[in-house]
A and B are shown apart, each in its own frame.
Chain A
Amino acid sequence: MTNVLGRFDFDVIAKWIRPGEKVLDLGCGDGSLLRYLRDEKGVLGYGVDNDPDNVLACIGNGVNVIRIDLEAGLSGFEDGYFDHVVMSLSLQTVRHTEQLLAEMLRVGREAVVSFPNFGQRSHREAIAKGRMPVSETLPYQWYNSPNVRFFTMADFEALCAERGIVLRERLGFDGESRVTEDLNLNASIAVYRLGKAG
């Protein structure tokens, strides 16, 4: 898989977004996904981040960025305003997971989320050996991790089923390679395209 952005999950996300869409990127980092979507697809994008360094980096990259705390929700954004609301490798860093998922599907037609899969084999093995997993996708020690939620693909899908969130597409990756068999065991990164029921 080509890796134009240096973040392979960006490639997947970019493929799901059509030219000219309105996109909200939650936890947008330095804005590189939005810059790519703007330059390549003419997307009208807004990033959200609460880290002042990321806000500065986005401004330097010429990307719209709004500094707000995701834990406080997306109340300033209107219902259904965005075609896609993206949250790339950040869902595990917010405490109000349920509310945020609901908010994403309130302000957006579809949500795209990616997260490190805590259910992947090496992570399970680490736990079996009695230690919290530390890996390429979970590079932190338990005491300095920015992650506050620890969940597997199966956990996530159970939550979606409970909350009436439709899984429109699901991809798993190990490193940069696509995984097709038993994603919850083999994928270190999960990427979902989500919609509302009905």
Chain B
Amino acid sequence: MNDLSDSVGAVLPQRAHFDTPLELTGGGVLPSFDLVYETYGELNASRSNAVLVCHALSGNHHVAGRYADNPKDVGWWDNLVGPGKPLDTRKFFVVGVNNLGGCYGTTGPKTLNPATGRPWGADFPVVVVEDWVAAQARLADRLGIEAWAAVMGGSLGGMQALQWTLEYPQRIRHALVIASAPKLTAQNIAFNEVARQAILSDPDYHGGHYYAHGVVPARGLRLARMIGHITYLSDDQMAEKFGRRLRQGEFKFNYDVDFEIESYLRYQGDKFAGYFDANTYLITTKSLDYFDPARDFGGNLAAALARARAKFLVVSFSTDWRFAPERSREIVYGLVHNGLGVSYAEIESIAGHDSFLLDDPRYHAVMRAYFEGIKT
């Protein structure tokens, strides 16, 4: 980690304020909003080298590099984005943005509601993928980007990349849809519902206005994250990483931590509950559940994709059961139906859904090859 030659180095988040009201998919209007974002690399003279990186459930705008005052805070996709990396910042101008409803500075439930002077809390509208993409388009306008060379995302981020091709077909040349799906399955929605119930039933939730009580529903958020983590890993990987190993070598015959996996989940849950906002978690899981571009087309995904003009790279991971390869193939065949350019790589990996954040050599080779083929 000492060799920083392929890092974008120290980065600074920026803020863009938008005064034009944004009409929301679920009804209602955001009269104004802020987006927090970061950029890496240089926008070229023809403005043809811009790549938008969309984040998933718990991500944010800090995609790559590190903060000067906190060098340990490395961007969440730093292994993929940087000089000489698969998404090469010497060639591309990369933009990361925290989505609406987020908790990293972008307008969201923690933000003061201008109508009340208090944090929005649970009154913040349930914003969805379509709204995020509409807000991202405003940011593109602000940055002078008429069309993205590419929009890329994993999981929920991949849904945003897909939505870009449908909502703004003329403004995106390539979409990289990684470990994603055209819609969630019932099982997937079920996991989200358990996570939401964990938060909603936490006495510290206070109907979503916990900020006023000086507390956060940490227990609920912790449980939500624990169940999430179970679904992001594969059975094989959990067996390899933790197995039945005991924390202290013997059974305790109580409800403290016996097994390493319990320790891991508690640690991940506690860490997450310490920084993430519960209302943002609720909104974001709903956004995942609602995403279904085929819904307006009688469930016919191919018909929904007819609007797209971009070329696609679709990637899935063999042991990802939360966003299984079959879901990616649905996208692929829908694109083929429309005669759209698409390549589909299914990567062997034991790491489940989390694979998309790891630096598997074959995965990164595919990403590198695809980005190298994008003309700027």
**Could you list which residues of chain A lie within 8 angstroms of chain B, going by C-beta atoms?**
22, 44, 46, 52, 55-56, 58-60, 62-68, 76-78, 81
User: Known: A55-B345, A60-B369. Is A66-B313 also a contact (CB below 8 A)?
Assistant: no
A34 to chain B, nearest CB (A): 11
> Which A residues touch B346, using CB under 8 A?
67-68
Any A CB within 8 A of the CB of B57: no
Taking CB atoms, residues of chain A closer than 8 Å to B339 are 22, 44
| A58 touching B372 in the complex, CB below 8 Å, given contacts A52-B348, A76-B332 | no
Q: Is the CB of A59 within 8 A of B313?
A: yes
Whose C-beta in chain A lies nearest to the C-beta of B313?
A: A59
Decide yes or no whether B343 CB sits under 8 A from chain A.
yes
With a cutoff of 8 Å between Cβ atoms, the chain A residues found around residue B362 in the complex are 52, 56
* In the complex, the 7 A-B pairs of residues with the closest C-beta atoms, listed nearest first: A76-B333, A60-B369, A59-B369, A66-B344, A67-B346, A62-B373, A65-B343
Report if B238 contacts A (CB, 8 A).
no
Beyond A59-B313, A78-B337, whether A68 also contacts B342 by CB under 8 A is no
Determine if A60 and B329 form an interchain contact, defined as CB atoms under 8 angstroms apart. Answer: no
* Contact of B366 with A56 in the complex, beta carbons under 8 Å: yes
Kindly identify, within residues 305 to 348 of chain B, every residue whose CB is under 8 Å from any CB belonging to chain A.
Answer: 313, 329, 332-333, 336-337, 339, 341-348
Are B329 and A64 in touch, CB under 8 angstroms? no
B67 at interface by CB-CB < 8 Å: no
Q: Does B370 contact A (CB under 8 A)?
A: yes
Interface: B16 (CB within 8 A): no
* Residue of B332, B341, B343, B372 touching A55 (CB-CB under 8 A): B343
* B366, A66: Cβ atoms closer than 8 Å: no
**Interface positions of B (Cβ within 8 A of A):** 313, 329, 332-333, 336-337, 339, 341-348, 362, 365-366, 369-370, 372-373
Contact between B333 and A59, CB atoms less than 8 A apart: no
Chain A residue nearest to B336 in the complex (CB): A46
Across the interface, do A66 and B347 meet the contact criterion of CB distance under 8 Å?
no
| A58 pairs with B373, CB closer than 8 A | no
A131 to B148, CA, bound (A): 60
Asked if residues B336 and A77 are in contact (CB atoms below 8 Å), the reply is yes
State whether A58 touches B336 (Cβ < 8 A): no
Q: Are B343 and A64 in contact (CB under 8 A)?
A: yes
In the complex, which of the residues B337, B344, B369 contacts A67, with contact meaning CB atoms closer than 8 Å? B344
Residues of chain A within 8 A (CB-CB) of B372 are 60
Contact B313 A52 (CB under 8 A): no
Contact B373 A59 (CB under 8 A): yes
27 contacts between A and B (CB under 8 A): A46-B336, A52-B348, A55-B343, A56-B345, A56-B362, A56-B365, A56-B366, A59-B313, A59-B345, A59-B366, A59-B369, A59-B373, A60-B369, A60-B372, A62-B373, A64-B341, A66-B336, A66-B342, A66-B343, A67-B344, A67-B346, A68-B346, A76-B333, A77-B333, A77-B336, A81-B336, A81-B337
Apart from A52-B348, A55-B345, A60-B369: 19 A-B pairs, beta carbons within 8 A: A46-B336, A52-B345, A56-B345, A56-B362, A56-B366, A64-B341, A64-B343, A65-B343, A65-B344, A66-B332, A66-B342, A66-B343, A67-B345, A68-B344, A68-B346, A76-B329, A77-B336, A78-B337, A81-B336
* Given A52-B362, A59-B370, A77-B336; A64-B345 close (CB under 8 Å): no
The minimal Cβ–Cβ distance linking A71 to chain B, given in whole angstroms, is 15
A56 to chain B, nearest CB (A): 6
How many angstroms between the C-alpha atoms of A76 and B362 in the bound complex? 25
**Cβ-defined contact, B373 with A52, below 8 A:** no
